[in-house]
Amino acid sequence: MTIRWKHLIVLAIIAPILGLAVGWSGLMSVRASTGHWAATDWFLHWVMRNSVSAREVATGDVPPLDDPGLLPGAAGHFETGCAVCHGSPAQPRPDSVLAMLPPPPDLKEVVPEWSDAELFEIVKHGVRFTGMPAWPVQSRDDEVWSMVAFLRKLPDMDASAYIQASGLHGIGHAGEVSPLPITCESCHAEAKLNDGSYIPRLAGQSEAYLLDALKAYADKQRPSGIMQVAVGTLSVESLPELAAYYANQKPGPRADAAPDPALIEKGRLLAEQGRTADKIPACLSCHDKQGGNPAYPKLSGQNSAYLQNQLTLFQSGGRGGSEYHHLMTGASKELTANDISAVAAYFSAR
């Protein structure tokens, strides 16, 4: 029998009609309790792996992931947003989660099967039909890489190391958040921070700046997947309470930085004088100024790693915030990488 074009055309018309008829009939079960056929389970995982592998090339170069400063923020976010499904070294997955189809995997077992670039693809974009969401903010690749760095460490973490990394979460059930202000202290406590922390020191900042920042996260005007999830667990009425709490704290002494006198001197010149040729204003013309705008953050004593990361975000246009954030986008435009390191070193040591 010869298959003619008209046969193919008829088949092309009938096949989708039959498919719709099967779907309409209700004969196809969607019960999670019955599980997948082995062939279905294999096919879905095969498609997922091929999709992730095909798209990992879009991530570009993998940055260094051995910086310990990357872990605390990602670990705190994992406990709040991920552990409720995936479990953690401190809390196993609950039975209700294991009944999901497909059940979220134990990441300690599956993380070693993926490359760094593949993990980035999964964390940033999520996985359809599984309940695995995309990263809350698609413009913050730095946060996604922090999570990849944390996931790389996860298989070797015991409960003690995990709780230390994630802060004060993990006291109750997986995913449970502690009362204010303990929730924020799990990451922002002065004792947890050092010069290599990407998490900022909040103690002593003005109440106006802190409240503006919290509102900007809540309104999605300042991009951060970590902070949007954290603030999203809080009521709007609690934000002034938090701002006042940290504004009334006194920053403690910190002697963990290894100062580079030449770098600090270059940073001082930029902070005090700017660089007219490149239209870079003096930092101190706005920041840390007596009687200055309380909506501007105080930079002195801030963690160097945090300052460098924020200046880089301003340069790339990835840093929003209050009505003044555009001023920093322009001011940081002509800064070189060395300039950023120098300014961060100066204010960290100041």
Work out the average pLDDT over 324-338.
90
| Domain ranges within the chain, ordered by starting residue | 57-178, 207-349
pLDDT at residue 210 is higher than 60: yes
Residue 180 has pLDDT above 60, yes or no: no
pLDDT of amino acid 341: 96
Fold match flag (57-178 vs 207-349):
yes
Give the mean model confidence (pLDDT) for residues 146-172: 85
Residues 304-308 have a mean pLDDT of 96
The per-residue pLDDT for 170 is 43
Between residues 178 and 237, which one has the greater pLDDT?
A: 237
- Would you state the pLDDT for residue 284? 95
Of the chain, the percentage scoring pLDDT greater than 90 comes to: 54
- From residue 243, alpha-carbon distances to 208, 225, 234 in Å are 8, 20, 13
pLDDT of residue 58: 65
Alpha carbon 74 to its chain's center: 6
* Joined tokens for residue 286: 């706005």
pLDDT tens-digit series, residues 228-256: 998 988 888 889 988 999 999 888 776 66
Cβ burial 113-132 (10 Å sphere, 16+ → b, else e): ebebbbbbbbbbbebeebeb
Please tell me the predicted confidence (pLDDT) of residue 339: 96
Closest CA to 249 of 287, 298, 214: 298
Q: Which of 350, 313, 316, 303 is closest to 187 using CA atoms? A: 303
AA letter at 111 = V
**What band does 125 get if pLDDT is binned at 50, 70 and 90?**
very high
Superfamily of domain 57-178: Cytochrome c-like domain (1.10.760.10)
pLDDT above 70 as % of the chain: 93
Predicted confidence at residue 299, as pLDDT, reads: 96
Question: CATH for 207-349?
Answer: 1.10.760.10
State pLDDT tens for residues 133-158.
999 999 999 999 999 999 999 999 99
